[in-house]
Structure 1
Amino acid sequence: MGAKEKYERRRTRYFRLYEKYNKAINTISNLRLLVFIAGLALTIFLMVIKYYIIMVAIFIVFLFAFVYLMISHDKLFKARLYSSMFVKINEDAIKRLNGEWDSFIDNGKDFLDQNHQYAYDLDIFGERSLFQWISVANTYLGREALRGLLSGNRKDVVRIKMRQEAIKELAGKLAWRQRFSAEGLVVSENMKEPEKLISWANEQNEFYKSSWLAIVVKILPLSTILSLTLAFVTSKVPYYVPSFLVLIQYFLLKYKNRERHEVFKTSDKFSKDIAVYNKMLKHFEKKDFEAELIKEIRNKMTGKTGKPAYEQVNRLSKIIDSISNRHAPFYLIFNILTLWDYRNMIILEKWKEDSGRYLKEWLEGLGMIEALSSLAIIRHDNPAWVMPEIKEKQRNEFEASRMGHPLIVTNRVCNNLDFNSPTKVLLITGSNMSGKSTLLRTAGINLVLAYAGAPVCAEVFRASIMDIHSCMRVSDDLGKSISSFYAELLRIKAILREAKEGKKVFFLLDEIFKGTNSRDRHTGARVLIDELSKTNSIGMVSTHDFELCDLEQSSPKIKNYHFEEYYKDNKIYFDYRLRKGVSTTRNAIYLMRMAGIDIDESLI
């Protein structure tokens, strides 16, 4: 069964469940109203005719029925919510396969950085980006983990292979991944930036960790309640004794009350987030995995405390539930009698001491699973794509067969690339719109996926570890008074510096030195290409300047490739096929005429 058929079946199934739960909720809502009215009417009627025993029995029966219906309504409401989430998840998956994913809200535009060495040029973040295509990370740290993988922060052969193994396993667990994603879909704004929660979990208050305070909080309320009971039941305990004890407890509650109030207010704010994290952790830790990386993440969650992370977060959730009872009626009286605020603070501080320092690590682990689950979508949806061979080699290597751009769904054209020795620079020529820039982006974005541990859009893909650098979309920086030409120079300077320092660079240069006259452009480009060919780096340079193509004659490290166009019925067509050699065609005049610019034949 293909990926699309799976998604369509799951969408249909959950939509039917959604409708079923919706009908059940409406039925129970009507039943609840009926039970309430009938119970109230019968109770009043029996009270009027003075059938008190039957009245009490009827009241209890209807009360239980009403409570049962309320609980059932709540369960059905949650089930309906999950069904609607699964419908959305599968609809998004179908859109992704159909190439309609540009409507996804999270496109990672907050990660856009024009100064990044390749992300801006290769459409890693922003509108119609790689991030927008695959991201199912809902938490802040999940999005950060995915950003890190796509930004080239973790280029290590061993870790890449571990991520490949994890992605393969997650790809085969569609139902598990979708449930994990559904648990994260209810994130609040706080979860999008959990630093405050993590900071709060690490705050320590020594006063509430005092052993003497714990003893007082246990013994004093017991003494107060016992003396009150004895004072009411017998005359052996004078009333001033419990009154005095209550007064002591009242003033105890006044002590540091504002401080406790701030802590409790913060805990209320994070209650929903903690409940969601708890569900995500439980769903993750309850599942058995074989991949070493996923086992490593889970072991980090349990190794330092000896207990599953979800159990510890669940304990925190229960503490916060207890704290939230402060908003209940008559809590003030209950609090004065039991010192419940002190009890909550003591157990909260105990939790922070035992587990608070590990919360960040647990949430980062969840974030990495979200990132890997995002990349696993590529494996699941594109089973024909290959897992790349990544090696640490002395000489840079890049070989790809039938490589296409992963973000182009319809009319994708695949090409072969091979930097076989001694080739260092591929010089790409071709007319406007022939596919030069797309080829550079295709190589770059597939290499980004390869280093992240994901499959790539190719039949064969081998590469060594390199630093990707591009110079493609360079614009003016008015804030720094930097022209696009100077910005391009700065980018190229950085690439050349790293290459000359012996670093392994994979460079992608598109139409370099556009902002100057043709003579200087030719001279500068010729010198730059020659310099790069003498380093340990490899890469591609696209150009319209055919004069540069004779560099192949002077150096075996430089190879010419080109794209062509053809004309039919007075229309221009491109096949986007990469060919060896130099381009012999040009189309700028034709395109100018198409744009309405009338050019005299005698000038051509």
Structure 2
Amino acid sequence: KCSIRLDEWHQQSSSHIQNGLDRIGYFEELIAIATFAHNYPNYTFPTISDDFALSGKEIGHPLIPLQKRVNNSFDIGNFPTVNIVTGSNMAGKSTFLRTVGINMVLAYAGAPVCATEMSLSIFSINTYMRIKDSLNESTSTFKAELNRLKMILNHVAVQEHPLVLIDEMLRGTNSHDKYMGSKAFIEKMISSATPTLFATHDLSLSELENIHQEKVANYHFDIQIENGEMNFDYKLKHGPCTIFNAAILLKEIGL
């Protein structure tokens, strides 16, 4: 008798199980976002704009402890630009790109962001970060980088509102080809009007602002050297970087 009733219940209710699970999942999403907002009362809910926008005041990375976190303010402007971020080693370029990206993801999820204020429109986020080789796939670093670049270019070609975050492109090749490839990619983003944050050590790329005025902007993270010691403030500044520290770091290890 129990088996008969169970079979009857299955026939009557099986078509509704997926819908019920979807509702439970959605409810759990809301609980997670509410819990996140409760645990971080200093975070703020962003403004999703119908017009082109990506700006924030005192944006920080939520995974960096408050005692160590350094916040930055940033505004990409009212139209798509390629924003080149140069700087010294360990000065904060990569962390800044990840900070922007993770807060955008939080915003699109409906959660508060690690900032005092943030306004953004809807973008499809494309990233190029921490590209690695693979012995299992017989893929070199350079080939892995090319694969990711091809994927980004394909996505940009079909997405309605793409945005690209690039962290040190083409590390797996020589400096000349790296520059030429980076320059070609930046010009591709300019021609397709794709907003881009492009972190690089190649200072010569910052000269593209002189060629593509109002379409390329330069920012940098630098260091202060006092009595031979390097001090990092991790603050984003306008213009290209003029102070680098690779030679100092090499000297410290005996080279």
TM bracket, shorter-chain basis: over 0.9
> 2:144 — aligned with what?
487
Superposition TM-score, scaled by structure 2 size = 0.93
- 1:28-39 aligned within 5 A: none
> 1:444 — aligned with what?
101
Unmatched 5+ stretches in structure 2: none
**What secondary structure is seen at the aligned counterpart in 2 of 1:503?**
coil
**Match of residue 543, structure 1, among 179, 191, 200:** 200
Amino acid at match of 1:515: G
Report the Cα offset of residue 367 of structure 1. 2.1
Contact in 2 for aligned 1:386/1:460 (Cα 8 Å): yes
**What secondary structure is seen at the aligned counterpart in 2 of 1:406?**
coil
Report the Cα offset of residue 565 of structure 1. 1.0
Whole-Å separation in 2 of the counterparts to 1:406 and 1:348 = 48
Whole-Å separation in 2 of the counterparts to 1:413 and 1:539 = 22
**Match of residue 61, structure 2, among 405, 420, 423:** 405
> 2:73 — aligned with what?
416
**Match of residue 34, structure 2, among 376, 384, 408:** 376
**Match of residue 124, structure 2, among 453, 463, 467:** 467
**Match of residue 386, structure 1, among 44, 60, 68:** 44
- 1:130-141 aligned within 5 A: none
> 2:13 — aligned with what?
355
> 2:240 — aligned with what?
582
2:168 pairs with 1:511: yes
Contact in 2 for aligned 1:499/1:536 (Cα 8 Å): no
Deviation string, structure 1 residues 345-404 (Cα, Å, up to 9, x no partner): 1111121122233223222322222222222222112222221111344xx421111111
Q: CA RMSD in A?
A: 1.6
**Match of residue 566, structure 1, among 221, 224, 238:** 224
Report the Cα offset of residue 573 of structure 1. 1.7
**What secondary structure is seen at the aligned counterpart in 1 of 2:132?**
coil
Amino acid at match of 2:199: S
Contact in 1 for aligned 2:55/2:75 (Cα 8 Å): yes
**What secondary structure is seen at the aligned counterpart in 1 of 2:136?**
helix
Report the Cα offset of residue 475 of structure 1. 0.9
Contact in 2 for aligned 1:508/1:540 (Cα 8 Å): yes
Whole-Å separation in 2 of the counterparts to 1:454 and 1:422 = 25
Whole-Å separation in 2 of the counterparts to 1:551 and 1:501 = 26
Whole-Å separation in 2 of the counterparts to 1:446 and 1:502 = 21
**What secondary structure is seen at the aligned counterpart in 2 of 1:421?**
coil
**What secondary structure is seen at the aligned counterpart in 2 of 1:566?**
strand
Whole-Å separation in 2 of the counterparts to 1:552 and 1:421 = 17
Whole-Å separation in 2 of the counterparts to 1:354 and 1:497 = 46
2:114 pairs with 1:476: no
**What secondary structure is seen at the aligned counterpart in 2 of 1:540?**
strand
Contact in 2 for aligned 1:402/1:460 (Cα 8 Å): yes
Whole-Å separation in 1 of the counterparts to 2:35 and 2:83 = 32
Whole-Å separation in 2 of the counterparts to 1:501 and 1:365 = 32
- 1:91-130 aligned within 5 A: none
Report the Cα offset of residue 499 of structure 1. 2.3
Report the Cα offset of residue 422 of structure 1. 4.1
Contact in 2 for aligned 1:510/1:543 (Cα 8 Å): yes
Whole-Å separation in 2 of the counterparts to 1:422 and 1:368 = 35
Q: Tell which deviates more after alignment, 349-358 or 467-476.
A: 349-358
Whole-Å separation in 2 of the counterparts to 1:508 and 1:389 = 21
Contact in 2 for aligned 1:446/1:457 (Cα 8 Å): yes
- 1:270-419 aligned within 5 A: 343-393=1-51, 396-409=52-65, 410-419=67-76
Which has a greater percent of helix? 1
> 1:434 — aligned with what?
91
Contact in 1 for aligned 2:80/2:194 (Cα 8 Å): no
Contact in 2 for aligned 1:566/1:573 (Cα 8 Å): yes
Report the Cα offset of residue 437 of structure 1. 0.1
Report the Cα offset of residue 423 of structure 1. 4.7
Unmatched 5+ stretches in structure 1: 1-342, 600-604
Query: Structure 1's 468 and 423: CA in aligned 2 closer, same or farther, altered over 3 A?
Result: closer
Report the Cα offset of residue 569 of structure 1. 4.9
Whole-Å separation in 2 of the counterparts to 1:529 and 1:370 = 41
Superposition TM-score, scaled by structure 1 size = 0.41
Whole-Å separation in 2 of the counterparts to 1:509 and 1:581 = 18
Matched residue pairs, number? 253
Percentage of identical aligned residues: 38
- 1:67-78 aligned within 5 A: none
Whole-Å separation in 2 of the counterparts to 1:463 and 1:406 = 18
Amino acid at match of 1:458: A
Contact in 1 for aligned 2:124/2:159 (Cα 8 Å): no
Whole-Å separation in 1 of the counterparts to 2:229 and 2:39 = 36
Whole-Å separation in 2 of the counterparts to 1:447 and 1:416 = 14
- 1:8-87 aligned within 5 A: none
Report the Cα offset of residue 536 of structure 1. 3.1
